[in-house]
């Protein structure tokens, strides 16, 4: 049985969802050109779900090895960049 997810990344096998990478057609050329991009959107619109799906697609292609890194844990140390960096790298 599937259900609507309202917290955290969606999983296609258990959650109702649209295909997440369909909306990312402009990103793959940037990746091929070794360009940079920023994903910016309100909470709960699918940013993490889309990035996880993109990472899986890129890795499955055999052309890339995608790694997801979150800097969220560093937010606990707003005045100490060293501790923020260590928290991010240890996560």
pTM, two decimals, is 0.71
pLDDT digits (tens, 9 = 90+) for 20-54: 888 788 888 889 999 888 888 898 888 888 899 99
Secondary structure (DSSP) of 41-78:
--TTSSHHHHHHHHHHHHHHTTS--------GGGGG-T
């Amino acid at each position: 049985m599937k259900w609507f997810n309202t917290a955290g990344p969606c999983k296609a096998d258990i959650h109702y969802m649209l295909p997440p990478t369909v909306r990312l057609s402009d990103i793959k050329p940037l990746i091929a050109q070794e360009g940079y991009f920023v994903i910016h959107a309100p909470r709960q619109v699918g940013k993490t779900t889309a990035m996880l799906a993109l990472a899986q697609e890129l890795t499955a292609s055999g052309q890339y090895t995608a790694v997801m890194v979150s800097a969220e844990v560093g937010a606990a140390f707003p005045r100490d960049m060293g501790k923020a960096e260590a928290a991010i790298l240890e996560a």
